[in-house]
Structure formats: C-alpha cells, structure tokens
Amino acid sequence: MERPGEGGEMAALRAAKRALRGELRQRLRALGAAEKRRQSRLLSRKVICHPKYQESKRIAIFLSMPDEIQTEEIIKDIFKQGKECFIPRYKPHSNHMDMLKLSSPEDISSLTLTSWNILQPSDDDSAREEALAGGGLDLIFMPGLGFDKKGNRLGRGKGYYDTYLERCMKHPSGKPYMIALAFREQICESVPVAENDVQVDEILYEDC
C-alpha cells in the first residue's frame, strides 16, 4: 500500500527524471565526434592506470552506443592483460540482463545488432559463460545518461543495471566495484533518485 502522498512523490520523481533525460540527450547530441573520441581516449588511459582495474580479473563492460564513452580501447586492454571480459545481453520487454563472456576483441564482430542498435550475443547463444553462473564479477563499468558527484546515476529508464546488481549482491563473491564512464557533459548538479536506485562507487570523467 502506498502511504498518503507517495503516489504524487513517485510521479514527481518520474517527471524530474524524464526532464533531465531530455536535457542530457540534447547535450550529447551537441557533442561532436572528435570531442567524443578525445574524451574517450583520455578516459581509456585513466581506466588502464586505475588500481581497481589493475587488481580486477573478471570485468563487465558495455559495448558503446554513439552517445556513450567509447570502450573499444579498454576492451582490447582487458584481453591484453589476460583478464576476463563480460558484456551485457539485454532481454527486450523486461528489465532482465545477463553478462556474457567475450572470447576476444574480434569476437565482437560475431555479435547481433539489436533493434536498439546495440551489439550483443544472440538469444540462442547458450555457449557463453554468464558471469554469475561462474566466479561473479570484480568490476563493472557502467553506462548511463547522467551522473552527479555523489554517485547517483540516471539510466535510460529500463532498470537493467539495478536489477542485475541485486543479483550480484546474492552471489558468493559479493558486490562488484562499480565505475561509471561519462563525458564531462553528463555530470549534473544533482540526479533525482528513488530509494532503490543503486549508487555507483566512482565516476570517471575528464575533470575528476
């Protein structure tokens, strides 16, 4: 049962998130390809030197959409360092996501392009290890539309990462360290959040 006023609060929160998503999408549309490449290269270097990255063996990372930090260089380094790499497979019309093992950077070219324009393993691909069916994850690199400096994250509204992190908490290896990768234009004064929205441990962007 909702407490008095709770329905109104939730509606206000949803409206605030929707407005901020619209503003952030505009900011990202205004960002040129060369600037995106520059910030992505800079962040790749920050990641590769990061102590949490260096000590992690099993790492989940997203395959970038055009309005996200490009993760290609980080993925290549994961394999170069002999670490294990896992990528999302999103289930449409739900908030279910798995993290499936990638065998090499070249393996990306064998993936299926979804209607959302995201590369991911196909639904009938059952040969890949799911991270939580094995040793869990040490580190997750998280995408998002916006972040504030307290670690609050504004996703795209589907809840994939929030529900996946709930599953991570139940795994014997425990909660992975969470690092968000962001363009400086995605850093906000404050991100509106509900109680069950998961905070990230750290946000990497140009000026941090």
Q: Check whether 25 is labelled as a binding-site residue.
A: no
Q: Find where tokens 């600037």 sit.
A: 35
Q: Based on DSSP, count helices (H) and strands (E) in the chain, helices before strands.
A: 5, 11
Q: Which amino acid is at 150?
A: K
Q: Check whether 153 is labelled as a binding-site residue.
A: yes
DSSP lists the bridge partners of residue 97 as 90
Q: Please give the biggest Cα pair distance in the chain.
A: 55
Q: Check whether 7 is labelled as a binding-site residue.
A: no
Q: Check whether 68 is labelled as a binding-site residue.
A: yes
Q: Check whether 57 is labelled as a binding-site residue.
A: no
Distance CA 110, CA 99 (A): 16
Interior CA angle at 93 toward 192 and 187, to 5°?
A: 25
Task: Let me know if 197 is exposed, middle or buried by CB neighbors in 10 A (0-12, 13-18, 19+).
Answer: middle
Distance CA 83, CA 80 (A): 8
Q: Quick check: 105 and 143 in contact, CB under 8 A?
A: no
Q: Check whether 18 is labelled as a binding-site residue.
A: yes
Q: Check whether 158 is labelled as a binding-site residue.
A: yes
Q: Check whether 36 is labelled as a binding-site residue.
A: no
Q: Check whether 19 is labelled as a binding-site residue.
A: yes
Q: Check whether 21 is labelled as a binding-site residue.
A: yes
Annotated binding site for substrate: 63, 68
Annotated binding site for ATP: 17-21, 153-161
Annotated binding site: 17-21, 63, 68, 153-161
